[in-house]
């Protein structure tokens, strides 16, 4: 993994099950025990594993590093294929170092100089503002039904939270660099999710997937300047990031991705700093388990 960034293990007889996958993850590092603060809808499957995502097959998933918007992110991630999709659904991988080489130099310099600040809009469960299909209710993000408990969890982790009148939470994880040093090699990699939290890129994502209803919904929020219910990404000083810069990230990611077909019983292990991951759209019943590794063994 240190040489190539990811390893695909294939050829196992039968299926492993969620608990056996947990044991495999523990063999290569220290697993993370919760997904508090995570951005994708997931179900817990084992003591340390979750569904890879609950987003339906009409959604692709853009390339990203797991929880790269947090000050401390997992060093590794693993996936276990229980059932492959009938069509589509390949895992997408890219080397984060390749992404940097494809970005315009002025974009790299502006992000390096000014850093990133992300504000996540987390509606309450049942809110009409979950219509994009991507946002998670704050109750799921914090695994609690109580506002006071969610606020306390955020505060203990150094995050800032505030509330809109309709119960939507604004969550800020603090200023982060667009780049991160690899914890073992020290090499610098592109490490952020500016493209995920930009409304411009959210629109691009919906258009790419041909999700017309979500595209219209996001466009309405953008047109009316709805800052309460749209995620926002700015430079750390509060200045706006030009639309062209954000879309150049999207383009670099699409040019970098490589599709990997996972078969039932396959395990994919990846260095979360060097390797970005995503997913194609799919049809049929696809079942993929995921586990996060806080620290990889040396």
Pairing verdict, β 160-163 and 169-172: antiparallel
Question: Is a pLDDT exceeding 90 seen at residue 27?
Answer: no
Residue 35 pLDDT more than 90? no
Cβ-contact 236, 116 below 8 angstroms: yes
Residue with tokens 């499957």: 45
Structural domain 102-254, CATH architecture: 4-Layer Sandwich (3.60)
Q: What H or E segment, with its residue span, contains residue 83?
A: strand 76-83
Average of per-residue pLDDT across 83-90: 96
Question: Got the DSSP string for 127-193?
Answer: -GGGTTS----HHHHHT-S-HHHHHHHHHHTT-EEEE-TTSPEEEE---B-SEEE-TTT--EEE---
Output the furthest CA–CA distance in the chain (Å, rounded). 55
Across all residues in the chain, what is the average pLDDT? 90
| Integer Cα distance of 136 and 42 in angstroms | 10
Residue 122 has pLDDT above 90, yes or no: yes
Tally Cβ neighbours within 10 Å of residue 96.
Answer: 27
Q: What is the CATH number of domain 6-97+257-296?
A: 3.60.130.10
pLDDT at 86: 96
Residue 280 has pLDDT above 90, yes or no: yes
Which residues make up the CATH 3.60.130.10 domain(s) of the chain? 6-97+257-296, 102-254
pLDDT exceeds cutoff 60 at 13? no
- Segment of 37-41, 186-190, 284-288 carrying the highest mean pLDDT: 284-288
> What is the reported pTM?
0.90
pLDDT digits (tens, 9 = 90+) for 124-163: 998 988 866 678 899 999 989 999 999 999 999 889 999 9
């Amino acid at each position: 993994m240190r040489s190539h960034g990811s390893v695909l293990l294939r050829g196992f007889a039968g299926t492993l099950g969620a608990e056996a996958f947990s044991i495999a993850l523990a063999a290569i590092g220290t697993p993370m025990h919760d997904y508090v603060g995570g951005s994708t809808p997931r179900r817990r499957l084992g003591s340390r594993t979750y569904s890879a995502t609950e987003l339906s097959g009409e959604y692709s998933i853009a390339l990203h590093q797991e929880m790269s918007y947090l000050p401390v992110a997992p060093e590794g991630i693993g996936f276990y294929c229980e059932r492959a999709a009938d069509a589509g659904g390949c895992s997408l991988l890219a080397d984060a170092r390749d992404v940097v080489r494809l970005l315009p130099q002025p974009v790299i310099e502006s992000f390096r100089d000014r850093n990133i600040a992300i504000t996540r809009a987390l509606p309450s469960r049942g809110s009409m503002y979950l219509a994009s299909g991507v946002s998670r209710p704050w109750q799921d993000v914090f695994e609690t039904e109580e506002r006071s408990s969610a606020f306390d969890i955020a505060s203990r982790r150094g995050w800032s939270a505030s509330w809109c009148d309709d119960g939507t939470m604004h969550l800020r994880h603090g200023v982060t660099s667009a780049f991160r040093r690899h914890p073992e090699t020290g090499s610098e990699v592109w490490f952020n999710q500016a493209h995920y939290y930009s409304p411009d890129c959210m629109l691009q994502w919906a258009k790419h997937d041909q999700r017309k209803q979500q595209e219209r919904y996001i466009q309405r929020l953008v047109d009316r300047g709805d800052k309460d219910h749209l995620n926002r990404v700015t430079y750390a000083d509060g200045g706006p990031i030009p639309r062209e810069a954000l879309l150049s990230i999207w383009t670099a990611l699409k040019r970098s991705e490589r599709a990997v077909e996972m078969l039932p019983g396959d395990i994919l292990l990846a260095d979360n700093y060097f390797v970005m991951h995503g997913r194609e759209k799919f049809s049929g019943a696809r079942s993929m388990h995921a586990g996060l590794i806080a620290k990889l063994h040396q």
